[in-house]
Amino acid sequence: MGEKFQNIHAEIIERCLEGDRYAQNQLYKLYSKAMFNVSYRITNNFDDAEDALQEAFISAFKNLTSYKGDAAFGAWLKRIVINKSINLIKKRHSGLEEVSEDVGEESDDQEVKVDQLSVERIKRAIEKLPDGYRVVFSLYLLEGYDHGEIAEILGITESTSKSQFNRSKKKIKEILEKEVIYE
């Protein structure tokens, strides 16, 4: 039960721990594209995503000894990327919108029918969300975090995370409906 996770890149990680620059470059090449996408979904800005990615890799290499191997390296790195991305948003304009915590859950019948929409239209709608909504939406739906984890990451309550997620769905629906009207 207490076994460590078997990482497929353990040899490269070990060489990175020894200060091997070539191994660091290999690790960067293996993970940079996926981690950039994670960061971009959160920051919604190409330059910020690149900055967060660079800061995340610098931090990861400096703190590689804290990677214990009990989860996939990608999951460990993703958490760093998410934190760096959120920090950039906070620096940019003290970011996350405050919402009241008494907002009720919306019913499933209000959800947008994804099969009727193109992926590009949905991506554009997500990009138009305010930072707070987009971050929670991305972390929950795209990155697979639950609301408790999101609350911990962002320093908000779990109900605020749920509220922001529900409001983000509603806002995406509004954006997509406006697009249909103007097409």
The CATH number covering residue 40 comes to 1.10.1740.10
Find how far residue 11's CA is from the centre of its chain: 27
pLDDT 10s digit of each residue in the chain, 183 long? 445 556 778 899 999 999 999 999 999 999 999 999 999 999 999 999 999 999 999 999 999 999 988 888 998 999 999 999 998 888 876 544 444 333 334 434 444 444 455 778 888 888 899 988 999 999 998 888 899 989 988 889 999 999 999 999 999 889 888 876 655
Residue 103 lies in a domain: no
**Cα separation, 133 vs 136, whole angstroms:** 5
Which structural domain, as residue segments, surrounds residue 125?
Answer: 108-182
Question: Are 127 and 79 contained in the same domain?
Answer: no
The count of structural domains within the chain is 2
Task: Report yes or no: 148 and 180 within 8 Å, Cβ to Cβ.
Answer: no
Question: Are 75 and 135 contained in the same domain?
Answer: no
